[in-house]
Amino acid sequence: MQGDAPLPGFDEIDPGVLAGLTCHIEIEMTGGQTARDVAAQTAETLRELAIQIEGGKFDTGFHRVITKKGVDVGELYLDFYGELTSEA
């Protein structure tokens, strides 16, 4: 994670470019008493990632996925990119 502020340029608009994002997430969650427990833990971790991605907390690249309890459960890859529009 980069910090509390969004990345520089995260909210900038370029009229000649359409922004894009490639996102890969690999999570291996264990330790629940039931499959429902593990699903709930995974969903909570994904919600936290979504908040951080939407808030501009990650830059392009690989990032460790850490639960609220501090357990490393996987990896996140983001690639922010732009595509020129026909107006450019």
What does the pLDDT look like over 18-49, one tens digit per residue?
A: 999 999 999 999 999 999 999 999 999 999 99
CA dist 86 and 34 (Å) reads: 52
Single pTM value for the model:
0.83
Q: Which domain holds residue 31?
A: 18-84
Assess if residue 69 is contained within a domain.
yes
Assess if residue 32 is contained within a domain.
yes
Assess if residue 13 is contained within a domain.
no
Assess if residue 70 is contained within a domain.
yes
Give yes or no for residue 7 having a pLDDT over 90: no
Assess if residue 8 is contained within a domain.
no
Assess if residue 40 is contained within a domain.
yes
Assess if residue 61 is contained within a domain.
yes
Domain count, the chain: 1
User: Could you give the dihedral angle defined by the CA atoms of residues 50, 27, 58 and 45, in that order, rounded to the nearest 10 degrees?
Assistant: 40
Strand, coil or helix: 47: helix
